[in-house]
Amino acid sequence: MRASETRRQIVEVADRLFYEIGYEATSFADIARDVGLSRGNFYYHFKTKDEILDAVIERRAATVHALLDTWEDAGESPSDRIRSFVRILVENRTKIMAHGCPVGTLCAELSKLQHAARDDAARLFALFRTWLARQFVALGHEGEADALALHLLMRSQGVAALATAFRDEDFIRREVADMEAWLEARCPAAPSTVSHRPD
């Protein structure tokens, strides 16, 4: 098999295992087994575990970019696009209840390990942050776009964390509906009469 294809498979499997059982808990043997490789051959493709982590983070960044592009194209209005972001919590509820948010849990794990790739993982959050902020700017919230973006990111992280702890699907749906109502209050079509700060 071509090296690039084997490499791609390794990163794909590692991405899944890092998400499902965590970076540290995933061993070379686990990845090799799932790819169908011997442990020895593994090192032809990746010299260290850190290298695989870098490749996985890069892959996730590409996935996030693709996702944001899809929403950008599909959403008629900025608020439709933001709604797409909010709704992934419901769409991915099964995985989230089992393993949390892929970005949030990786960041948390790498932070504790004081891993060098810690900031690279945080940059995945930043992708959502800047994209959301751009949508809020388009909605006319220039001065507070970044704060609103962080607020929404914060909520989605909180929902993911509690959904994992309590495994409560109704809770996810309730909070997503709440985020949509919050968003509705900030659309130019139905402007809030009180304040533009997150509440």
Partner DNA sequence: GTCTATAGCAGGATAGAC
Partner DNA sequence: GTCTATCCTGCTATAGAC
Q: How far is the CB of 45 from DNA (least distance, A)?
A: 7
CA distance 93 to 10: 26
Site for DNA in 70-129 (CB under 7 A): none
Q: What Rg value do the Cα atoms of the chain yield, rounded?
A: 19
Nearer to DNA, 55 or 148 (CB): 55
| Window contacting its own copies (CB under 8 A); options: 2-10, 87-95, 132-140, 156-164 | 156-164
| Nearest one of 159, 160, 158, 137 to 82, comparing CA atoms | 137
CA distance 6 to 17: 16
Q: How far is the CB of 121 from DNA (least distance, A)?
A: 18
190 lies in the binding site for its own copies (CB under 8 A):
no
Please say whether the beta carbons of 52 and 31 come within 8 A. Answer: yes
Q: Which does 65 bind (CB under 5 to 8 A by kind): its own copies, DNA, none?
A: none
Calculate the CA dihedral of residues 119, 125, 131, 136 and round it to 10 degrees.
-120
3 lies in the binding site for DNA (CB under 7 A):
yes
Q: Which does 91 bind (CB under 5 to 8 A by kind): DNA, its own copies, none?
A: none
Task: Report the interface residues with DNA, using CB under 7 A.
Answer: 1-4, 6, 26-30, 36-45, 47-50
